[in-house]
């Protein structure tokens, strides 16, 4: 029995359809991510769950209760905004206590809980500071604590890390995940950063133009994209038409029209050098010209030209690939099993 | 190097000279008025020889002056309060829930600039001297006119205050945390826009306090405000009028002081003092 159920949800703004008949379900304690490019409707879906947008059609259930038409304040959800939205006139303590005060809880009772929360987010000693005096990362932690203290049924996080710099993003990302596990909090996380989604989630829903294109665990999403959009968005895949793949010399037995190949699955070796254990029965082997090489840190990216078709190849940046130079003609081997057939979304 | 420095000092000198000239130009009339209000008599001398407070005593014992002051304060305060009570909720609702209508409000608010007071006043008298709302010659027609007069100022300051605090996000956050709309407004919006609102209110207050055209045309005979009193005094005696002007200046000065102080108010400073006192 799933804990959160979203059934056939659609949303129009005027005549533009922003959510297209979306259905998904989430287990209790699960951490799921809505991943997609800007404008694909992630925030709209999240805000609909929080009751900040109404829906054009469809229903939302949390733990068997239909919340589609409840006002925000009665939905028992917690939300963290991209802009933090801390109350500037209240200090850290008062911000975190706000939700409990709204429940008319006594001061003694909520003080204990707030102190626990402050401890959990590691902001002890800063209770009397005001949002304006905190760093971005600290503000975001306060926002998280403020949402968590009411023990919501679902925690909604709308790009909570996007205003922070890379270093703090990573630390805070891990902290969020730890706290979420500790409290077994059912969480919906929204981001347009695929690395963030892959590292943090139990399950990912890849969204595009108001549709869910694919759902699955991080590993399966990354290694087995089902559509061209997911392949390109999630991992810089090479996406080739059947005809293009055939010009490279492949003989494929598959009815798919489009194929995705991970850049790091392709290997490069010199023209002359034979004896590589490159089995032509499981590899497509062809000549390629190195058009451009780019250093991406621990990985080198080569843009290759194979009979007019552009193919990207990633290789670990180690000394044994330093012989590869721009303008050179090399051989590449594409494992046939890495050519993933893609479905064309309807 | 030294050449450079002299050049700089010279530049600075001109700067200061211009500012000094400007200040003299602005303050000379005020100084003259001040001297005149304190002089026993001032005929052909460069500065008066004998000083007295008699003119101040005269106006402060004049019931007409006191009641004119009172009327001005009354009409300014009523207008500002009514304006706040109507404009704060209206602008808030439009900014947060009906952003489509914002353009319309902006235009409406700027319209008063398009009509000169004299034209408006004549129109107002025509409309309100008879018919269902016959308020011509009463304080209420003045309040109505002033309400429109200060509209652009109150709109701008309230709107800016709401924008800087991202009122919509704050409302949503508060509602998700279990606050009703009104509680959210009172507890997280109002305290954050209050400084901005107070500043605009004080500005509006002094604007109305110094207004003459509407007052004279709309209620001149029946409701003597401080400006009308001053106008009448100027025809009778220069020195009493000077005392009135100086009193008026001092009042505006105090109000400006408040405005500047409030303008520097930030939650941060208010915080620092609470922390010093040991927080909550
Ligand atoms: N209040 C609104 N009125 C009209 N259109 C809207 C409104 N809110 C969102 N939209 C439109 O709906 C679409 C989806 O918006 P949404 O905010 O859900 O995108 P998103 O996936 O969260 O993008 P981002 O990553 O940039 O936050 C966008 O094209 C946007 O222009
Ligand atoms: Mg968004």
Q: What is the pLDDT of residues A32-81, one digit of tens each?
A: 999 999 999 999 999 999 999 999 999 999 988 999 999 998 999 999 99
Query: Does the pLDDT value for residue A218 go beyond 70?
Result: yes
Which domain covers residue A294, as residue numbers? Answer: 236-342
pLDDT at B85: 93
Does residue B31 sit in the same domain as residue B76?
no
Looking at residue A183, which CATH number applies to its domain?
3.40.50.300
- Confidence (pLDDT) at B5: 61
Per-residue confidence (pLDDT) for residue B232, from 0 to 100: 86
Count Cβ atoms within 10 A of the Cβ of residue B170 and give its class: 0-12 exposed, 13-18 middle, 19 or more buried. buried
Pick the residue from chain B with its C-alpha nearest to A151: B177
Task: Please identify which residue in the block is written with the tokens 């204990």.
Answer: A112
CB atoms within 10 A of CB B184: 25
Give the residue from B76, B26, B31, B44 showing the smallest Cα distance to B245.
Answer: B31
| Residue span of the structural domain in which B34 resides | 1-52
**What whole-number distance in Å separates Cα of residue A140 and Cα of residue A146?**
10
Atom of ligand 1 nearest to the CA of A192: 25
For residues B134 and B271, membership in a common domain is answered with yes
Q: What is the pLDDT of residue A47?
A: 94
8 Å CB contact between A118 and A127? yes
Look at residue B4 in the predicted model and tell me its pLDDT.
58
* pLDDT > 90 fraction of chain A, expressed in percent and rounded: 64
Coil, helix or strand for B40? coil
Judge if B103 and B34 occupy the same domain.
no
What pLDDT score was predicted for residue B36?
86
Residues 101-130 of A with CB under 8 A from B: 102-103, 127-130
- Which residue reads 């709401």 in tokens? B162
Instruction: Choose the final residue of a domain: A233, A251, A268.
Output: A233
Q: How confident is the model at residue A235 (pLDDT cuts 50, 70, 90)?
A: confident
At A276 the pLDDT is 61
What ipTM does this complex have?
0.83
Last residue of a domain, one of A233, A264, A292: A233
Q: What residue ranges of chain B have pLDDT lower than 70?
A: 1-8, 263-280
Task: Using CB atoms, pick whichever of B176, B183, B267 lies closest to residue A89.
Answer: B267
> Over chain A, what is the mean pLDDT?
90
Instruction: Kindly give the distance from the C-alpha atom of residue A2 to the centroid of ligand 2, in angstroms, as a whole number.
Output: 25
Tokens of B277: 């006192």
User: Which has more confidence, B125 or A187?
Assistant: A187
Q: Looking at the structure, do residues B11 and B134 belong to the same domain, yes or no?
A: no
Same domain, A329 and A226: no
Q: What is the pLDDT of residue B239?
A: 83
Chain B residue with Cα closest to A82:
B169
Per-residue pLDDT, A69: 92
Are A73 and B180 a contacting pair at CB < 8 A? yes
- Ligand 1: residues with CB < 6 A are A 13, 18, 36, 38-44, 192
- Whether residue A215 sits in one domain with residue A101: yes
Of the residues A198, A233, A268, the one at which a domain ends: A233
- Same domain for A102 and A188? yes
Q: Which ligand places an atom closest to the C-alpha of A42?
A: 1
Q: Rg of chain A over CA atoms, in angstroms?
A: 25
pTM value is 0.81
One domain, residues A185 and A75: yes
Segment A309-333, tens digit of pLDDT: 999 999 998 888 888 889 999 989 8
Residue found under tokens 């108001």: A210
């Amino acid at each position: 029995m799933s804990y959160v159920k979203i059934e056939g949800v659609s949303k129009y703004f005027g005549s533009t359809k922003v959510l297209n008949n979306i259905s998904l379900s989430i287990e209790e304690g699960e951490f799921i991510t809505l991943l997609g490019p800007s404008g694909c409707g992630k925030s709209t879906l999240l805000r609909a769950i929080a009751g900040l947008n109404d829906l054009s059609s469809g229903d939302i259930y949390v733990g068997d209760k239909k919340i589609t038409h409840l006002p925000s304040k009665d939905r028992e959800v917690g939300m963290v905004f991209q802009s933090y939205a801390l109350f500037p006139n209240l200090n850290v303590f008062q911000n975190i206590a706000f939700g409990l005060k709204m429940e008319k809880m006594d001061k003694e009772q909520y003080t204990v809980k707030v102190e626990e929360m402050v401890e959990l987010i590691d902001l002890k000693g800063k209770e009397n500071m005001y949002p304006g005096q905190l760093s971005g990362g600290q503000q975001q932690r306060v926002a998280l604590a403020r949402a968590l203290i009411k023990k919501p049924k679902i925690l909604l996080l709308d790009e909570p890390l996007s205003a922070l710099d890379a270093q703090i993003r990573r630390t805070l990302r891990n902290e969020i995940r730890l706290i979420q596990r500790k409290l077994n909090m059912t969480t919906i996380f929204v981001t347009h950063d695929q690395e963030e989604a892959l590292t943090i989630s139990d399950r990912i829903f890849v969204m595009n133009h108001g549709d869910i294109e694919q759902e699955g665990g991080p590993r399966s999403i990354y290694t087995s994209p089902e559509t061209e959009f997911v392949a390109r968005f999630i991992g810089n895949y090479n996406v080739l038409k059947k005809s293009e793949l055939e010009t490279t010399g492949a003989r494929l037995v598959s009815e798919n029209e489009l194929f995705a190949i991970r850049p790091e699955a392709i290997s490069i070796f010199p023209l002359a050098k034979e004896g590589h254990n490159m089995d032509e029965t499981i590899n497509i082997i062809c000549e390629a010209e190195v058009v451009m090489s780019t250093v991406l840190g621990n990985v080198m990216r080569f843009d290759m030209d194979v009979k007019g078709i552009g193919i990207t190849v990633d290789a670990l940046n180690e000394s044994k690939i330093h012989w590869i130079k721009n303008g050179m003609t090399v051989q590449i081997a594409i494992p046939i099993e890495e050519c993933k057939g893609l479905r064309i979304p309807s | 190097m030294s050449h450079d420095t002299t050049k700089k000092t010279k530049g600075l000198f001109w700067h200061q000279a211009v500012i000094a000239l400007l200040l003299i130009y602005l303050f000379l009339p005020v100084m003259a008025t001040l001297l005149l209000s304190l002089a026993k008599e001032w005929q052909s001398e460069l500065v008066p020889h004998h000083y007295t407070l008699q003119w101040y005593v005269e106006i402060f014992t004049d019931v007409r002056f006191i009641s004119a002051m009172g009327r001005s304060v009354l009409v300014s305060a009523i207008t500002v309060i009514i304006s706040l009570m109507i404009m704060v909720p209206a602008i808030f609702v439009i900014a947060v829930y009906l952003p489509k209508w914002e353009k319309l409000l902006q235009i409406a608010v700027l319209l008063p600039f398009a009509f000169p007071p004299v034209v408006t006043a004549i129109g107002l008298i025509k409309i309100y001297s008879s018919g269902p709302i016959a308020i011509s010659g009463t304080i209420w027609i003045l309040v109505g006119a002033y309400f429109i007069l200060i509209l652009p100022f109150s709109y701008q300051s309230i709107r800016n205050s709401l924008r800087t605090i991202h009122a919509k996000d704050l409302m949503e956050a508060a509602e998700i945390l279990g606050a009703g709309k009104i509680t959210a407004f009172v507890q997280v919006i109002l305290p954050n826009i209050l400084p901005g609102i107070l500043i605009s209110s004080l500005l509006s207050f002094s604007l109305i306090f110094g207004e003459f055209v509407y007052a004279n045309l709309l209620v001149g005979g029946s409701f003597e405000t401080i400006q009308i009193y001053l106008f009448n005094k100027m025809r009778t005696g220069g020195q009493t009028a000077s005392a009135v002007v100086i009193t008026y200046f001092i009042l505006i000065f105090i109000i400006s002081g408040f405005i500047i102080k409030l303008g520097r108010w930030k939650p941060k400073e208010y915080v620092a003092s609470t922390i010093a006192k040991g927080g909550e």
